[in-house]
Structure 1
């Protein structure tokens, strides 16, 4: 016996089914594919958007932000609902209420801390559908301009010591000769993390033979923030020095064993020198002006005074 189908009724049910699928697939919220990166102590926007058809019924709109099981921020009944908000986010979160009708469910998080890093979930429900998506928030801190310490040793060697304190996460550091040959493997690099702040300090030393002409470049990178600090030091003997009229260069001759050069902004120079009974020979330092750069030069008290060194530091 052949069943008789009511074709009009069947077609109507199929139409409703397809209509429901279409409505569901149209409601697709958007979050960053590659996550977000926040800068320590600054504000970060966690982006999330949703489709709006016609006008948004704010009475039925629900937006919730979570990190794991922690409630970061909630909105429903046309206003923020922070009764269940985790206390670590108190007074640090806000939504863009005026833009919510346009489909903006983004969250602003202020005074970002390293503890804020993690996976965040944006959940949105409106009269046309609901969905939630998650993404990673990373937190990073810029490394300050490095301090370059130059130590002239008694054995005819020179130590270049680079330090930078207060960045996150741990950086990459590279040393080059002639801007091409990688000599990072022959350097001594120490990386320390503060137990309280969790920020990193880097100290890297390169030992060279004094009296030879060479160009040394160090490159410090913080990948999460796209930060790159690249500085070049040209080392050459005084006998090979050529005169220059470049106004961006400073030429200083020191007659004492211990000298400190501090270059900040307009390259103001201060020096402190200890007296010595040994024979004094000039030591020359040439630096290309670079704001917010600090260079220290230390001549070991046992250093032979029969040498002259010229340093050029370029940004």
Structure 2
């Protein structure tokens, strides 16, 4: 009879333990605690139903499970495994362990303590955790206002304050209670303390009150600090309306004169560019072939995506190429399908928003395996754009001086004379020319890009034809004018360009 009773009690205990082990919960507070910097925080945590924590593991952690804020296991605290930032600042209420109280006391709060904490309890058969978000607030010092500068238009006021957390809201208010727009606002975080330092400036003019306030508010604590400054009227400059009108007229005249000078200077530069363009294009001497350039897919680096044989862009994907001996392996480049062994040829390229590109011409025999310099010595004649600068990839790299990087560029190839020149399509101006080359083998158009997902487009036939026709017409009119009017003036040249 005793054996049966003992066995029944043991069986009941096992059932109760199994049911309890599957029914534990770890719960935190219903409202996130808000604590001032320098104070102590209580992060509440308990088990439901209450269970003794003496022989369990209680782990508090924030960013990393393996770097705990506080760890209790094997019947005692484990300070050597604790995150160094929390050593000596944490405490568990062990006298309340028997009722499942795992709350943590965190002393000397600083801004770096702000964030989400996890109260983790290992029940041996299962584990549970609760999340508690600690919000840290810090009220800064009383703001300080002072006059920074006085000009003929008004006074600049500066407001400073240190020691805020989180970032405060800053408002300037005049004596009528109206908010004034700040001229500038600088909020910097101190790396050591984690607190924010504030500096704000505002330009003010005299009114009937001349009283100005700087209000800084902590959005978390819903509290603020304010400073006032009463400015005497004598500090505000007196405006002379006639002097203002005189200055406005003087500035207008100066601007008009500068604009006129620049206007004529640009026209004279365009005259020089047009003369140069007509000469280099060989007008009235030779016929230039408008090459309908297409891209050769078999030579394209696998990261290049080709579209309609006229467009290319660099991607993060690899695209299938049939013959690994034909394509560029390490350089994001491609050759054109057109080969040139004689004559004069012209094609144009739209680089669009691409900020890192290369284009020009290359020999059939150029090395496509590995990384090499794209210079004439290795069979490349090209220009490149990188870091907002334009370069000629000569054997001695040369920076090309331009006001703005062109979006559309023309390439002119004269095989017999050994000339490869580059033009700004918009202004018809020469950018750079390689001369004196003795070509002995086939030349192909060359294109490269290092910027992901930015298209480069070779001009289609109609667009290229229109560009060439316009240039040819301008050259024709210009030559006819020069031949007919031997004694023409510069002003007549400018009028011709206007038409």
- Report the Cα offset of residue 163 of structure 1: 0.7
Higher RCO (C-alpha under 8 Å, 6+ residues apart): 1
Alignment CA distance shift 1:178-1:99 (3 Å): farther
- Report the Cα offset of residue 205 of structure 1: 2.0
Alignment CA distance shift 1:124-1:188 (3 Å): same
Give the match's secondary structure for 2:46: coil
Matches of 2:38 and 2:104, distance apart in 1: 16
Matches of 2:139 and 2:72, distance apart in 1: 34
Identify the match of residue 168 of structure 2 among 171, 180, 189: 171
Matches of 1:83 and 1:106, distance apart in 2: 20
Matching of residue 146 in structure 1 with residue 158 in structure 2: no
Indicate the residue corresponding to 1:64 in structure 2.
Answer: 59
Q: Which runs of 5+ in 2 are unaligned?
A: 1-14, 239-499
- Report the Cα offset of residue 231 of structure 1: 4.4
Indicate the residue corresponding to 1:265 in structure 2.
Answer: none
Greater strand share, structure number? 1
Indicate the residue corresponding to 2:190 in structure 1.
Answer: 194
Matches of 1:39 and 1:101, distance apart in 2: 31
Give per-residue Cα distances to partners, 1:240-277, cap 9 Å, x unaligned. xxxxxxxxxxxxxxxxxxxxxxxxxxxxxxxxxxxxxx
Indicate the residue corresponding to 2:81 in structure 1.
Answer: 84
Matches of 1:93 and 1:112, distance apart in 2: 11
Matches of 1:96 and 1:195, distance apart in 2: 33
Residues 214 and 236, structure 1, Cα contact 8 Å, conserved in 2: yes
5 Å-filtered alignment, 1:25-104, equals: 27-33=24-30, 35-53=32-50, 56-67=51-62, 68-69=64-65, 70-104=67-101
Matches of 1:198 and 1:78, distance apart in 2: 35
Indicate the residue corresponding to 1:10 in structure 2.
Answer: none
Give the match's secondary structure for 1:153: strand
- Report the Cα offset of residue 83 of structure 1: 4.2
- Report the Cα offset of residue 141 of structure 1: 3.0
- Report the Cα offset of residue 52 of structure 1: 4.3
- Report the Cα offset of residue 188 of structure 1: 2.5
- Report the Cα offset of residue 129 of structure 1: 7.5
Alignment CA distance shift 1:186-1:125 (3 Å): closer
Alignment CA distance shift 1:233-1:102 (3 Å): farther
Matching of residue 212 in structure 1 with residue 208 in structure 2: yes
Matches of 2:90 and 2:230, distance apart in 1: 49
**TM-score where L is the length of structure 2:** 0.38
Give per-residue Cα distances to partners, 1:33-74, cap 9 Å, x unaligned. 554444434332222122345xx4454443221222212222
Give per-residue Cα distances to partners, 1:134-184, cap 9 Å, x unaligned. 23334443211111214573637333321102323321111233565332x
Give the match's secondary structure for 1:136: strand
Indicate the residue corresponding to 1:251 in structure 2.
Answer: none
Residues 52 and 101, structure 1, Cα contact 8 Å, conserved in 2: no
Alignment CA distance shift 1:214-1:32 (3 Å): farther
Give runs of ≥4 in structure 1 deviating > 6 Å.
none
Indicate the residue corresponding to 1:225 in structure 2.
Answer: 221
Residues 58 and 77, structure 1, Cα contact 8 Å, conserved in 2: no
Matches of 1:201 and 1:35, distance apart in 2: 26
Matches of 2:87 and 2:148, distance apart in 1: 50
Matches of 1:99 and 1:65, distance apart in 2: 17
Give the match's secondary structure for 2:96: helix
Matches of 2:146 and 2:126, distance apart in 1: 61
Matches of 1:76 and 1:137, distance apart in 2: 24
Residues 117 and 139, structure 1, Cα contact 8 Å, conserved in 2: yes
Alignment CA distance shift 1:100-1:128 (3 Å): farther
Between 1:82-91 and 1:125-134, the stretch displaced more is: 125-134
